[in-house]
């Protein structure tokens, strides 16, 4: 079987193994075993191959010219370096790019590249297919199919987008992909092992080299996993707060019934290495007549007063059948004004990629819908079209 026919999620093609997403240590162990190398030599090979995969974007062992020809042949016999298949790619008028990636038959995830966010541009990656937490304003939460993505499938999103942006080698001065946000489909703290393994690969300075302070993990509030996120990844934390009292948050973000606001904020205060340069981002979706009064803006500021925080007001992105509307622009500005006066700079998150339905909480479901309608069109058009 050629790698082109493979589904990315297969870790094996016949006797060959996909190397994407494995740690350096795992690579060294595989090479040590495959070629009977001493640990030191195996580690050296792992470093060379690592650099080719993550610094140069190689998918072919023949490019690895600092490795002898014979060894390259041996590697190609036993291993391969795969990419998820880009099923759809849409570019917004504002430069945002949305990708639908096929990991395996029937397993498709979306990720979105958003220019001019962070140092240069951010890639919003998915951590699960769908999501088990039914936040009432989120379209992803209405999807039935849910599974965790593997570390390889998370790293695969980054590699596929770097291919598309032409961002190899990774240390280019003019890189457009400078930040990663786990704000696509899924709850990353329900898949923390794989998320942490993926972050270790992405943050490695001899590869993709996106530093941990430019990687943000957003959670709806899985409180018991927040300390481990800090300890194992040292990534930046974002909290989907969306309400300032438990009665309302219970409704909007149902996991709040398990871990209420006071517990969530206590976990935030204990997050490692917080400072003015390392703040927690609090996301707050603006829902008309639900959570958008001046009193709530003041309460939000009060709640966060003893946490180094950034506030991100997200205009609600509507989806068909959604039970909410976005607050009016005037309301959002008035709310932002109060937040602003409390010392938080530019708190409104400009909606991006709206024309391609690339915005928060809209991922995947729309593309499924669209493709269903395409199928319908194809069916009704008949075989001649």
Nearer to ligand SF4, 84 or 186 (CB): 186
- Rg, the chain, Cα only: 22
For residues 280 and 238, is the Cβ–Cβ distance under 8 A?
yes
What is the C-alpha to C-alpha distance for residues 145 and 148, in angstroms, rounded to an integer?
10
Residues constituting the chain: 385
Which range, of 5-13, 74-82, 134-142, 161-169, touches ligand SAH by CB under 6 A? 134-142
User: Under the criterion CB under 6 A, does residue 140 sit at the interface with ligand SF4?
Assistant: yes
Q: Which of 135, 180, 229, 359 binds ligand SF4 (CB under 6 A)?
A: 135
Nearer to ligand SF4, 220 or 244 (CB): 220
Return the bridge partners of 79, or none: 17
Cis omega before residue 107 (within 30°)? no
Q: What is the DSSP string of 90-111?
A: EE-TTS-EEEEEEEETTEEEEE
Q: Which of 133, 161, 177, 215 binds ligand SF4 (CB under 6 A)?
A: 133
Torsion (CA) 178, 181, 184, 190 in degrees, nearest 10? 140
Taking CB under 6 A as the criterion, which residues in 112-131 touch ligand SF4?
Answer: 131
Q: Which of 50, 52, 113, 137 binds ligand SAH (CB under 6 A)?
A: 137
Q: Which residues are catalytic?
A: 110, 360
Taking CB under 6 A as the criterion, which residues in 86-125 touch ligand SAH?
Answer: none
User: Under the criterion CB under 6 A, does residue 138 sit at the interface with ligand SAH?
Assistant: yes
Nearer to ligand SF4, 95 or 351 (CB): 351
The first and second tokens of residue 19, run together, are 């190397």
User: Under the criterion CB under 6 A, does residue 130 sit at the interface with ligand SAH?
Assistant: no
Query: What Å distances lie between residue 145 and 128, 141, 148, 244, 357, CA to CA?
Result: 10, 10, 10, 31, 20
* In the complex, least distance from residue 308 CB atom to ligand SF4, rounded to whole angstroms: 23
Torsion (CA) 316, 321, 323, 327 in degrees, nearest 10? 30
Residue indicated by tokens 């700079």: 345
* In the complex, least distance from residue 317 CB atom to ligand SAH, rounded to whole angstroms: 4
Taking CB under 6 A as the criterion, which residues in 230-289 touch ligand SF4?
Answer: 240
Helix residue spans in 270-328 (DSSP H): 294-303
Residue indicated by tokens 């191959």: 49
Taking CB under 6 A as the criterion, which residues in 315-374 touch ligand SF4?
Answer: 361
Nearer to ligand SAH, 32 or 315 (CB): 315
Which range, of 136-144, 151-159, 161-169, 336-344, touches ligand SAH by CB under 6 A? 136-144
Nearer to ligand SAH, 220 or 256 (CB): 220
Lay out the site mask for ligand SAH across 179-198 (x = CB under 6 A, - = otherwise): ----x---x-----------
42: left (phi over 0), alpha (psi -120 to 50) or beta: alpha
3-state secondary structure of 318: coil
Which range, of 100-108, 129-137, 270-278, 374-382, touches ligand SAH by CB under 6 A? 129-137
User: Under the criterion CB under 6 A, does residue 360 sit at the interface with ligand SAH?
Assistant: yes
Q: What is the DSSP string of 175-242?
A: -S--EEEE-SSS-GGGSHHHHHHHHHHHH-TTTT---GGGEEEEES--GGGHHHHHHHH--EEEEE--
Nearer to ligand SF4, 187 or 292 (CB): 187
The residue nearest ligand SF4 at its CB is 141
* In the complex, least distance from residue 66 CB atom to ligand SAH, rounded to whole angstroms: 40
Residue 277 neighbours by CB distance under 10 Å: 8
For residues 347 and 358, is the Cβ–Cβ distance under 8 A?
no
Q: Footprint of ligand SF4 on this chain (CB under 6 A)?
A: 131, 133-135, 138, 140-141, 186-187, 220, 240, 361
Q: Footprint of ligand SAH on this chain (CB under 6 A)?
A: 131, 135, 137-139, 183, 187, 218-220, 240, 283, 285, 314, 316-317, 360-361
């Amino acid at each position: 079987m050629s790698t082109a026919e493979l589904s990315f999620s297969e870790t094996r093609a016949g006797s060959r193994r996909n190397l994407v997403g494995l740690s350096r240590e795992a690579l060294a162990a595989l090479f040590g075993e495959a070629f009977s190398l001493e640990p030191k030599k195996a580690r050296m090979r792992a470093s060379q191959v690592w650099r080719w995969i993550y610094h140069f974007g190689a998918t072919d062992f023949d490019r690895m010219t600092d490795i002898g020809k014979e060894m390259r042949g041996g590697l190609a016999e036993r291993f391969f370096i795969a990419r998820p298949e880009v099923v759809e790619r849409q570019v917004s008028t504002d430069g945002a790019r949305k990708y639908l990636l096929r990991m395996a038959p029937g397993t498709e995830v979306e990720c979105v590249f958003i220019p001019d966010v962070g140092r240069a541009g951010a890639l919003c990656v998915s951590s699960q297919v769908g999501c088990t937490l039914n936040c009432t304003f989120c379209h992803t939460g209405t999807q039935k199919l849910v599974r965790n993505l593997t570390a390889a499938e998370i790293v695969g999103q980054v590699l596929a987008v770097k291919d598309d942006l032409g961002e190899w080698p990774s240390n280019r001065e003019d890189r457009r992909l400078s930040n990663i946000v786990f704000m696509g489909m899924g709850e990353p703290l329900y898949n923390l092992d794989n998320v942490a393994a993926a972050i270790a690969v992405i943050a490695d300075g001899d590869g993709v080299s996106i530093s941990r302070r430019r990687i943000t993990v957003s959670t709806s509030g899985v409180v018991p996993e927040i300390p481990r996120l800090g300890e194992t990844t040292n990534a930046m934390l974002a909290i989907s707060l969306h309400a300032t009292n438990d009665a309302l948050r219970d409704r909007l973000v149902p996991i709040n019934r398990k871990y209420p606001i006071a517990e969530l904020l206590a976990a935030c205060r204990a997050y490692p290495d917080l400072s003015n340069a390392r703040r927690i981002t609090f996301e707050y979706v603006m829902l008309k007549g639900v959570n958008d009064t001046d009193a709530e803006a003041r309460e939000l500021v009060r709640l966060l007063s003893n946490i180094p925080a950034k506030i991100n007001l997200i205009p609600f992105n509507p989806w068909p059948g959604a039970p909410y509307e976005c607050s009016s622009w005037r309301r959002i500005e008035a709310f932002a004004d109060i937040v602003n006066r409390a010392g938080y700079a530019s708190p409104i998150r400009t909606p991006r990629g709206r024309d391609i339905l690339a915005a928060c909480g809209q991922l995947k479901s729309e593309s499924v819908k669209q493709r269903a309608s395409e199928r319908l069109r194809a069916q009704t058009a008949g075989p001649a079209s």
